Every structure is written in structure tokens, then in C-alpha cells.
Amino acid sequence: QEVIIATKNAGKAKEFKRMFLPLGYEVKTLLDYPEFEDIEETGSTFEENAILKAEAVSKALNKIVIADDSGLMIDALDGRPGIYSARYAGEAKNDDANMDKVLEELKDVPQAERTSRFYCALAVAVPGKETETVAGTCEGSILTEKRGSFGFGYDPIFFCTEKGKAMAELEPDEKSEISHRANALRKLEDMLPVLFPG
């Protein structure tokens, strides 16, 4: 059984493939449909942007589609980069530049005030039905330098409280136990057999 995720982010795509495999689903993403243009994310919340992406692709394919809008929220920066996480340092999506900008902004912020969380909103668009959303978080703090080489995005500068390691030091299976994305997906799990019957 096939599940379509409306993402062009290769890091997200890998994680969804890994998380859906034990559930018995094969994941297709927009990397398998290169004809899709970038969908404009004009919403003001993760949920609104996830809905925009899921509905655009669901309408085009006339199929059930899941989308992920996610990002890093830093308390000392009033929740930034938040929905602007992908392009925090400029128009081009550049993970290294984004992390450098965060480290610079936090350079005088003491450890106790570097609390942060990852947030993931998932939207499920079903043709002819109201789109639903769920969300998950992952608590942590911002390190003072990059650590580890797994994962993607801000993982090297995010210390995951639950695992006691940088997110980028976690093997893919470990990250998929505790991540904001995994926590959001768990809330969808019960709906999957109905959405995608074998």
C-alpha cells in the first residue's frame, strides 16, 4: 500500500520511508513526482502551511496526500526561526548557513536559557473531505557548536533532552523513536488503515 507525502525535502523523505516501513506502507514523495512546482507557503502557522501543501498535491493527483510543515522554535528568540526555519539565513535553503545564524544569535545566551523544541504539523488531505492536522514536538536545547553527522537541517545544533545527545548523533532509527515527526505520525497511525486500506 502506497502513501504520498507532499515533500521535496530529502531528509524528511528518508525519515518517512523509514517510519512507514514497519507499518506496512511504501512512501512516495514529490521527489518521485519532479513535475510539481514549489508550493507557496503563505500560511502563518505550521498547520496552515501543511494544509496548503497537502491540498495542492491532493487536488492535482486526486489522491489522499500527507504533508509535513516543521521547524525549530527557540525560546530566547521568541520562537524563531519557527515557520521560517527552511530559509532562515536567506532565500536559498542552506542548512549550514541557517545553523550559523542561530549560533551567532545565541552566542551570549547561557545554557539554561537555550531551551528549544522541534515542531511538526502533518496535514492529511482527502479528496472531497475536510483536511485534518496533527502535531508533534521534541524538546531540547541549542548547543554552542555543531555535533554529529546524521539527520538533516538543524539536527547538529539541537541537543535532544530525551536521548541526551545531539539530534545528529542519533542513528536514524533512534531519531525516529523520539522525533517531532514520529510523535506527530503516532497520532495519525490509527487513521492509516482507514485512509489507505490494503
Residues acting as catalytic residues: 69
Q: Is 140 in the site for ligand ITT (CB under 6 A)?
A: no
Q: Is 58 in the site for ligand ITT (CB under 6 A)?
A: no
> 85-93 — which CB contacts under 8 Å span 24+ positions?
85/153, 85/154, 86/9, 86/153
Q: Is 7 in the site for ligand ITT (CB under 6 A)?
A: yes
Consecutive H or E run containing 100: helix 95-105
Closest among 166, 137, 180, 131 to 19, alpha carbons compared: 180
Give phi and psi for 134, each to the nearest 5.
-135, 165
Partner touching 9 among ligand ITT, Na ion, none, CB below 5 to 8 Å by kind = ligand ITT
**Cell numbers standing for residue 177:** 523513536
Q: Is 155 in the site for ligand ITT (CB under 6 A)?
A: yes
Q: Is 28 in the site for ligand ITT (CB under 6 A)?
A: no
Considering only the stretches 54-62, 68-76, 140-148, 182-190, report the one whose residues sit in contact with ligand ITT under the rule CB under 6 A.
68-76
Rounded CA-CA distance 89/100 in Å is 9
Q: Is 133 in the site for ligand ITT (CB under 6 A)?
A: no
Residue ranges in contact with ligand ITT by CB under 6 A: 7-9, 12, 41, 53, 68-72, 85-86, 93, 95, 98, 118, 151-155, 179, 181
